Amino acid sequence: MAPRTEAPESESAFIPSLACPRCEAGLSPSDFTGGGAECPQCHARYGRSAGILDMIADPSTLNTSEVETQDRVSANYDDVRYALPHARAYHESTMRSLSQMVPPRGAVLDDGCGTGMMLEHVRALGAPIEDLVGMDVSVEMLKRARARAERKALSYRLVRGDACRLPFRAESFDVVYARSILHHLPSPDAGAREIGRVLKPGGEVVFLEPNETALSRVVRGMARKGDKFDEDHKEFRADDLVALVRRHLDVVEVKHAGYIAYPLLGFPDVLDFSRVLPLARMVGGIMWVDDRIADVPFLKRLSWAIVVRARRR
Ligand SMILES: C[S@@+](CC[C@H](N)C(=O)[O-])C[C@H]1O[C@@H](n2cnc3c(N)ncnc32)[C@H](O)[C@@H]1O
Ligand SMILES: [Zn+2]
């Protein structure tokens, strides 16, 4: 039998917001050992993956090929997408616009945190928040998020979980960032429902998801033939995304974003235009053009991304 050791101190403070994703019973410090946790109600056991608390209720419900894809592409995020200066500048600007729409306050969750870019962004803002939690299904992404925290002396907690069955108690968070997560889920509706469940009344979420247009269908069709996208990967017509979110939350604001900047700057790990264009010198101009297009009726609907801000009733 494994020795019964205390949960790490950094985790004890986090425990009040954790719940069993299988039966939703809240967990308390006595349910934890250094090695993991056991649900007091359904007795599901949760261990650790690479030392990170692993709160997947039932691994057989996960889309294994999506998890494998995300594990594999995690290196592209830190080494290419968020490393090349022009791509990083673009992503910094999108994160800034999300945190301006919904400023961090109280307890903050980054749902599908990937390698922790948004967690770093939130910490860099310096807002006096109570707690910052990153959750993702990919252990490789989480390992990189942990390495980021260690490298940059950032404080946040990480947990492995499934966005369709969040391992948190109802009404735990004031703010949720959901940057490019719903379109990866087998059930985006469950993803939005879960965010509605874990937000406190009056709490807010901001979603950023790909917008489906005639052009995006062609480009994504080509990209999906590579090994960087699982077949669960989808995009939304703006109205459909808004209707989906509305089933669980009050939609407060909808914005279209990303025109020429999104394909030119955003995804060098998928398509690297810096091989043929001096993008480092063009970043400011490209983002300026994007902002102008976003003001033009009709044209603005041709964006690559949709941003939806919503509030828990
Ligand atoms: C496009 S990436 C975005 C990552 C991060 N939000 C960012 O903006 O850099 C999508 C993320 O969703 C995660 N993901 C996919 N399916 C998930 C699930 N069922 N539960 C939690 N995370 C999931 C992936 O592992 C990946 O990190
Ligand atoms: Zn349980």
Q: Which of 97-101, 263-267, 291-295 has the lowest mean pLDDT?
A: 263-267
What confidence tier does 5 reach under pLDDT thresholds 50, 70, 90? Answer: low
Question: Which domain covers residue 169, as residue numbers?
Answer: 57-311
pLDDT surpasses 70 at 13: no
CA separation for the pair 79, 270 (Å, rounded):
13
From atom 26 of ligand 1, which residue's Cα is the shortest distance away?
A: 114
Ligand nearest to the CA of 111: 1
Based on the domain organization, do 169 and 190 belong to the same domain?
yes
Q: Is residue 307 part of a domain?
A: yes
pLDDT surpasses 90 at 283: no
Share above pLDDT 90 across residues of the chain, in percent, rounded to a whole number: 62
Per-residue b or e along 201-226, where b marks 16 or more CB atoms closer than 10 Å to that residue's CB: eebbbbbbbbbbbeebeeebeeeeee
Ligand nearest to the CA of 270: 1
Most ligand 1 atoms within 8 A of CB, residue of 49, 64, 66, 70 to mutate? 70
**In this predicted structure, what is the pLDDT of residue 223?**
64
Based on the domain organization, do 253 and 288 belong to the same domain?
yes
Residue (of 224, 133, 144) closest to 184 by Cα position: 224
**In this predicted structure, what is the pLDDT of residue 33?**
82
Based on the domain organization, do 42 and 98 belong to the same domain?
no
Based on the domain organization, do 306 and 253 belong to the same domain?
yes
pLDDT surpasses 90 at 267: no
Q: How far is the CA of 266 from the centre of ligand 1 (A)?
A: 16
Cα 241-244-245 angle, rounded to 5 deg: 90
From atom 10 of ligand 1, which residue's Cα is the shortest distance away?
A: 181
Based on the domain organization, do 206 and 89 belong to the same domain?
yes
Q: Among 37-51, 212-226, 276-290, which range has the highest average pLDDT?
A: 37-51
Q: Is residue 52 part of a domain?
A: no
How many domains is the chain partitioned into structurally?
2
Ligand nearest to the CA of 25: 2
Q: Is residue 51 part of a domain?
A: no
What confidence tier does 9 reach under pLDDT thresholds 50, 70, 90? Answer: low
Strand partners, 134: 110, 158
Q: How far is the CA of 149 from the centre of ligand 1 (A)?
A: 18
What confidence tier does 1 reach under pLDDT thresholds 50, 70, 90? Answer: very low
Based on the domain organization, do 143 and 283 belong to the same domain?
yes
CA separation for the pair 228, 221 (Å, rounded):
12
DSSP 81: I
Strand partners, 205: 176, 310
CA separation for the pair 15, 50 (Å, rounded):
19
Q: How far is the CA of 54 from the centre of ligand 1 (A)?
A: 15
pLDDT surpasses 90 at 2: no
Based on the domain organization, do 209 and 122 belong to the same domain?
yes
Q: How far is the CA of 142 from the centre of ligand 1 (A)?
A: 10
From atom 12 of ligand 1, which residue's Cα is the shortest distance away?
A: 112
Looking at the CA of residue 95, tell me the nearest atom of ligand 1.
8
**In this predicted structure, what is the pLDDT of residue 275?**
82
pLDDT surpasses 80 at 174: yes
Q: How far is the CA of 32 from the centre of ligand 2 (A)?
A: 13
Integer CA distances (angstroms), 139 to 99, 206, 219, 231, in order: 26, 24, 29, 20
Query: The pTM is what?
Result: 0.92
From atom 27 of ligand 1, which residue's Cα is the shortest distance away?
A: 114
- Cβ < 6 A, ligand 1 pocket: 66, 70, 112-114, 117-118, 136-138, 141, 162-164, 179-181, 184-185
pLDDT surpasses 60 at 245: yes
**In this predicted structure, what is the pLDDT of residue 34?**
76
CA separation for the pair 296, 289 (Å, rounded):
11
Q: Is residue 138 part of a domain?
A: yes
CA separation for the pair 220, 228 (Å, rounded):
11
Mean pLDDT, to the nearest integer, of 173-192?
96
**CATH number where 201 lies:** 3.40.50.150
Q: Is residue 23 part of a domain?
A: yes
Based on the domain organization, do 65 and 33 belong to the same domain?
no
Cα end-to-end distance, the chain, whole Å = 46
Most ligand 1 atoms within 8 A of CB, residue of 136, 179, 185, 209 to mutate? 136
Based on the domain organization, do 17 and 152 belong to the same domain?
no
Dihedral, 191, 197, 200, 206 alpha carbons, nearest 10: 10
Residue (of 173, 141, 178, 174) closest to 163 by Cα position: 178
What confidence tier does 280 reach under pLDDT thresholds 50, 70, 90? Answer: confident
Q: Which of 2-11, 181-190, 225-234, 301-310 has the lowest mean pLDDT?
A: 2-11
Most ligand 1 atoms within 8 A of CB, residue of 138, 148, 205, 224 to mutate? 138
CB 35 within 8 A of CB 47: yes
